[in-house]
Structure 1
């Protein structure tokens, strides 16, 4: 199933999580992540790749606005999208 998402909206969600979310200390050799409304946001080691995840579903955004979803079932995807929308509404 091909899922489409507005990349610019996803980048806004990423920025909102990193600006307003709780910082989660990094483990040795990894980057810090942030959490808001049940979504985690983190960057890759190169700074060009970002990931939004809720533990079951992840959205990875690569260079040139290419992206990939990874989820085990549709219910997990729908739950992720509900959290995504919660972040959009947070402190709007």
Structure 2
């Protein structure tokens, strides 16, 4: 099943999460960190060419040349994840 997403919107969400989100150390034993805002985590690989946005159930990985891949258990989980994009977009820094 092919899921369509506006990559530019996803990149804007990524930028906002990394700009305003809480910086956290990765919990899975890997070196590095992610950022957390409005229920979405954002991280990038070591060279910056691949980014990942995720919540507890869904992940969206954006690769070089704007190719992307979703990983999710149900369509409801995906819909909930995409609704969180609006929460991030509407976030107002204090």
TM-score (norm 2): 0.89
Extract structure 1 runs of 4+ deviating beyond 6 A. Answer: none
The Cα of 1:46 is off from its aligned counterpart by 2.5
- Where 2:43 maps in the other structure, the secondary structure is strand
The Cα of 1:84 is off from its aligned counterpart by 1.3
1:32 aligns with 2:33: yes
The Cα of 1:29 is off from its aligned counterpart by 4.0
In 2, distance between residues paired with 1:29 and 1:87?
Answer: 26
Q: Residue 23 of structure 2 corresponds to which residue in structure 1? A: 23
The Cα of 1:20 is off from its aligned counterpart by 0.3
Please list every run of 5 or more consecutive structure 2 residues that lacks an aligned counterpart in the other structure: none
Deviations along 1:49-80, whole A, 9 cap, x unmatched?
A: 00000021000000000001110001110110
Matched residues, number: 92
Structure 1 57/29 Cα, relative in aligned 2: closer, same or farther at 3 Å?
Answer: closer
In 1, distance between residues paired with 2:7 and 2:54?
Answer: 15
Q: Residue 48 of structure 1 corresponds to which residue in structure 2? A: 49
TM-score (norm 1): 0.91
- Where 1:75 maps in the other structure, the secondary structure is helix
Please list every run of 5 or more consecutive structure 1 residues that lacks an aligned counterpart in the other structure: none
CA contact (8 A) 1:30 1:45 kept: no
